[in-house]
Amino acid sequence: MQGKVYITGLGIISAIGNTVDESFQSLLASKTGVGKITILKTALSETHPGAEVKKTNEELRAMSGLPQDKYFSRTTLLGMIAARQAVLSAKIENIKELRTGFISATSVGGMDRTEVFYEEFSKDNTRGHLRDVITHDCGESTEAIALQLGIKDYVDTISTACSSSANAIMLGAKLIKQGKLDRVIAGGTDALSRFTLNGFNSLMILDKQPCQPFDENRRGLNMGEGAGFIVLESEKNPGIDNKEIFGELTGYANTNDAYHQTASSPDAKGAIMAMTQAMQMAKLSPDQIDYINAHGTGTPNNDLTEETAFNTIFGEHIPPFSSTKGYTGHTLAAAGGIEAVFSLLALKHGLIFPNLRYETMMKEFHFSPVTELKRQVQLKNVISNSFGFGGNNSSLLFSKA
């Protein structure tokens, strides 16, 4: 696989902003999006905070540019908004001028509508709208977004839990390097739903307070929603020299330790392999990593595993790291796409975003995440981690172009 892959466009919508610039300003101001759940109707809103996009589906539809006479899930609406931003950011005027792919990740799919149908239908089998069922499939949101963008060359859906959109970005880079596509819009989208909220609550890993990633007294995660997409382009594309380059994807790796259905392996084998293999692909040594955007969910298991991996790989020279889930909550399949955007913003502007609400060092280690915004940092290489259920671990390595 030959040639460089550049990132030429960014798009995002999350609890801290409806655009890249709004999100960036929230990061600079340490403004969290975690708070009371008000859009989604759930009993857990009284006991558990979340990170919602504070727009109704009708408002999202107006923002998305999707046809008003058609029906879409919230997952699709969020994804459409972020994907269109990425295309506009890359200044793509004719999507068909190059072989273009669209790879989107999701865990929830159209579940936010299916659960509404089920509630009505279970009470009376003559009630409920079938339109709430046909959007359920994960691939439905991908197909709808690709159709709206006019992409037909290659369309694919990835669903590997929390590593999904990192894997979508990885697949896009591989297809470009193999010469099968010239550019790819890749990332992920997920909406809050009662099913996923209750599912994580049944695992007893939802925090009743705003989460504290990597803190000794961490209690769990906050669920979030949103979408993040980036535009990947071959260095061989016409006009690439005249485009704004946010960074180069120099390394990536996906591993699967299959230790447990929902927990990370305590020895961090999968996480270690993912980061190490990404560095090997980029031909970088551990001391050349300048910042890690950690997966950092705030759960006891995940954070212990990830810091174990840092300790094993970097020893006494652990690079600055932080989790941005204190801002956006855990956006499931969208996390890798959203945090890829954050990592590229950090790289472009020489910034390290703080790990919100960190207070006490974990007793197992003698290092801590960054807790204050760092400016004018010389960043050349940034790792973004996304670790999912089943031990599906992915690391992306972005470098200064």
Q: Let me know: does 77 contact 66? Beta carbons within 8 Å.
A: yes
Q: Tell me which residues are annotated as active site.
A: 162, 295, 330
Domain-terminating residue out of 199, 216, 242: 242
- Tell me, yes or no, whether 182 and 315 share the same domain: no
Name the domain count of the chain.
Answer: 2
Q: Return per-residue pLDDT of the chain as tens, 401 residues.
A: 579 999 999 999 999 999 999 999 999 999 999 999 999 999 999 999 999 999 999 999 999 887 777 789 999 999 999 999 999 999 999 999 999 999 999 999 988 887 776 677 677 676 767 677 777 788 899 999 999 999 999 999 999 989 999 999 999 999 999 999 999 999 999 999 999 999 999 999 999 999 999 999 999 999 999 999 999 999 999 999 999 999 999 999 999 888 777 777 888 999 999 999 999 999 999 999 999 999 999 999 999 999 999 999 999 999 999 999 999 999 999 999 999 999 999 999 999 999 999 999 999 999 999 999 999 999 999 999 999 877 799 999 999 99
pLDDT digits over 156-200, tens only?
999 998 999 999 999 999 999 999 999 999 999 999 999 999 999
Which residues have CB under 8 Å from 157's CB, separation 6+? 103, 104, 105, 106, 138, 139, 141, 142
Domain-terminating residue out of 187, 216, 242: 242
Q: At what angle do helices 20-28 and 335-349 cross, to 10 degrees?
A: 70
- Tell me, yes or no, whether 235 and 266 share the same domain: no
Find the CATH number of the domain harbouring 301. 3.40.47.10
Tell me which residue range forms the domain holding 134.
5-242
**Strand positions, DSSP E, 320-380:** 321-323
Q: What DSSP letter does each residue of 16-28 carry, written as one string?
A: TBSSHHHHHHHHH
Other CB atoms within 10 Å distance of the CB of residue 370: 19
- Tell me, yes or no, whether 190 and 264 share the same domain: no
Burial 55-90 (b: 16+ CB within 10 A, else e): bebeebbebbebeeeebbbbbbbbbbbbbbbbbebb
- Tell me, yes or no, whether 81 and 117 share the same domain: yes
